[in-house]
Amino acid sequence: MSISEKDLKKYARVIVRIGANVQPGQKVLLNVGVDQIPLALAVTEECYKAGACRVEITWLCGEADRLHFSYADEKVLGTVLPWEEEKARQMTVDYPCRIFIESDDPDVLSGISADKLSNVNRGRMSVLKKYRDAIDGKHQWLIVAAASPKWAKKVFPDDDEETAVSKLWDAIFSCMYFDDNSDPVDVWKKHTSDIESRAKWLNEQHFARLEYKSKNGTDFSVELIPEAHWGGAGDVNHLNNARYVPNMPTEEVYTSPMRGKCEGRLVATKPLSWSGQLIKNFYVDFKDGKVCGCKAEKGQEILEKMFAMDEGASMLGEVALVPKESPINRSGLLFYNTLFDENACCHVAVGMGFDDVIEGFIDMSDEEIYALGVNDSIIHVDFMVGSEDLDITGYREDGTAVPVFRNGTWAN
């Protein structure tokens, strides 16, 4: 069952006008599944109405990706062809607005060799990472989602396909604050403002470190970068000052912590889908700032491969705070999709940190940003650690302790 034309146009408007905030004269790169043609067309039209000079669509197909990984040689898949690299290089000239619409089956690559997946990702990113880094902070980008039959059946396994898809669309729109009585553009402007006020409070505290504790076994401490600030909801393209919302939905306030300065155990509270495979019921131990051990009920091998992608993959690149009142959490659903599940509760990410948490980063070299403590890696993978009883305490340089979270939500 597809969504109504009215909802399709409303969704496209929010994607283009609030999420990506496409500007007149911009080129747009739209990455979308082959099962989402009506939404792709609606977004494309809205981009042109916003003044885009060109919309280029890349069609994605998880089932085709599975065939590639099942039959093609690892070295072939991991090789970036000249035309692919030139396309990536062109982004450093055009600085296009990029829109990613996720709808894949969370299990689409289940059973594929963990070695093959990690080696292919490593090979491709070793070539493409420099282009990704070159456009950081200089373009708008957005990740949103769309209901598909296989994803819907994963979330609602007891329903028939049509009902499951309808329910998943309803859940997506609920998490996006859509209703029949409000203009979603106005709603999102208020929502982003509320999140940014939380970030402002955190920045005023000047915390040196955070301490996490939960009865599930989480007992963890992480140091923060003195020069880094907390961000939330909105971001800005530093070339044209266009504000955009890179993740929709979003409930998080985030920063990049000090590279290599964390200790203790983090217990994941939701499954993680990475490289098309699910990792369930796991914990991660850190010592001297690096992953020193992990244990998963399902997906142990792929979890270990993830942390070994490169040197930075075993260190944190992000800490993010999300209260348990999040509509994603209140829905009671497990989406099996990081875009949603990370916005249900507090999370961290291993791998690449965010350059833009450093004031003046746009005029700094990669080496200068790295020297301040922002982690670097070819990956950035979030996993969820928020629980109903999670306590987070912030400590200032003088040792003053300030409650940040108590029982899974803001302490103030």
What is the Cα 236 distance to its own chain's centre?
17
CA-CA distance, 373 to 133, in Å (whole number)? 16
Residues 139, 147: contact at Cβ < 8 Å?
A: no
> What average pLDDT does this structure show over 357-382?
94
Q: At residue 1, does pLDDT exceed 70? A: no
Indicate whether 199 belongs to any domain. Answer: no
> What average pLDDT does this structure show over 198-226?
98
pTM of the predicted model as reported, rounded to 2 decimal places: 0.87
The alpha helices in 286-331, defined as continuous H runs, are 300-307, 327-330
State the pLDDT at residue 338. 87
State the pLDDT at residue 35. 93
Beta-sheet pairing, 209-213 with 409-410:
unpaired
Q: Grade residue 406 by pLDDT with cuts at 50, 70 and 90.
A: very high
CA-CA distance, 225 to 223, in Å (whole number)? 7
State the pLDDT at residue 164. 96
- Give how many domains the chain has, as a whole number: 2
Residues 16, 46: contact at Cβ < 8 Å?
A: yes
CATH number (domain holding residue 33): 3.40.1830.10
Question: Rg of the chain's alpha carbons, rounded to an integer?
Answer: 20
* Position 62, amino acid: G
Q: Which segment of 77-81, 220-224, 291-295, 330-334 scores lowest on mean pLDDT? A: 330-334
> What percent of the chain is predicted at pLDDT more than 90?
88
Beta-sheet pairing, 347-351 with 380-384:
antiparallel
DSSP letter for 402, please: E
Backbone phi, then psi, for 280, in 5-degree steps?
-125, 145
Residues 84 and 170 in one domain: yes
Indicate whether 379 belongs to any domain. Answer: yes
Residues 274 and 404 in one domain: yes
Model confidence pLDDT, tens digit, residues 256-295:
999 999 999 999 999 998 887 889 999 999 999 999 999 9
Q: Is 136 exposed, middle or buried (0-12, 13-18, 19+ CB in 10 A)?
A: middle
Backbone phi, then psi, for 403, in 5-degree steps?
-65, 130
Three-state secondary structure call for residue 280:
strand
> What average pLDDT does this structure show over 293-305?
96
State the pLDDT at residue 205. 97
What b/e sequence results for 233-244 when a residue is b if at least 16 CB atoms lie within 10 Å of its CB, and e otherwise? Answer: bbbebeeeebeb
Residues 212, 266: contact at Cβ < 8 Å?
A: yes
Model confidence pLDDT, tens digit, residues 88-121:
999 999 999 999 999 999 999 999 998 999 999 9
Residues 170 and 297 in one domain: no
Residues 159 and 285 in one domain: no
Domain that holds residue 168: 5-175
Residues 307 and 227 in one domain: yes
Dihedral angle of Cα 61, 62, 63, 64, to the nearest 10 degrees? 60
